[in-house]
Amino acid sequence: MKPTKSVWVINPANGHAYKRIQCADWHDAQQKAIEEGAHLVSINDEAEQHWLQLIFRVHTAWIGLTDVEKEGEWQWDSGEPVTYTNWAVRPIFPDRLPDTEKDYVVFTFRDGEWQSVGPGSPFWRMTRKAIIEKDGLVSKTPATKETADE
């Protein structure tokens, strides 16, 4: 099976670029993001969450939220502050892992709700995509005639 080609998509609201990638698990996704000069997506508000759902039609995907450094203190892979969350009210799949072993987060197919997971969780085994993000690929300074002619 040939891997699908993914392209960067710019969110006009914040100028950041996003791409959906194939991966084996959260760690693989993080490594692939780093190789592209990016990070796993940080979702900072409801508008960004909605935009991601519309653009990527996400079924399940890894996002950059983790509490691996300190249990219960969720942090974005990018280092940005956590200003918004969209936790699932009820887990989609029963998960017998204790919360202390669920250090990574999946964007789920149920309205983009987030669910914490760990190795052995159903979502850990089935999630093979991630959304990565980086600051915009488009220059923030408008092109002038002089720069366009160079």
Domains of the chain: 9-137 (3.10.100.10)
Neighbours of 99 (CB within 10 A): 12
Q: What is the mean pLDDT of residues 17-36?
A: 97
Query: What does the pLDDT read at residue 150?
Result: 37
Give residue 136's identity as a one-letter amino acid code. Answer: G
Query: What does the pLDDT read at residue 91?
Result: 84
57: which 2 tokens? 């039609």
CA-to-CA distance for 42 and 101, rounded, in angstroms?
A: 21
> Which residues, listed in sequence order, are joined to residue 104 by a DSSP beta bridge?
66, 117
CA-to-CA distance for 134 and 150, rounded, in angstroms?
A: 27
Q: Percent of the chain at pLDDT above 90?
A: 76
Q: What is the mean pLDDT of residues 114-118?
A: 96
SS3 107: strand
Is 80 exceeded by the pLDDT of residue 35? yes
Query: pLDDT, tens digit, for every residue of 42-91?
Result: 999 999 999 999 999 878 999 999 999 999 999 999 999 999 999 999 88
Query: pLDDT, tens digit, for every residue of 103-113?
Result: 999 999 998 99
Is 90 exceeded by the pLDDT of residue 12? yes
Query: What does the pLDDT read at residue 4?
Result: 57
> What average pLDDT does the chain have?
89
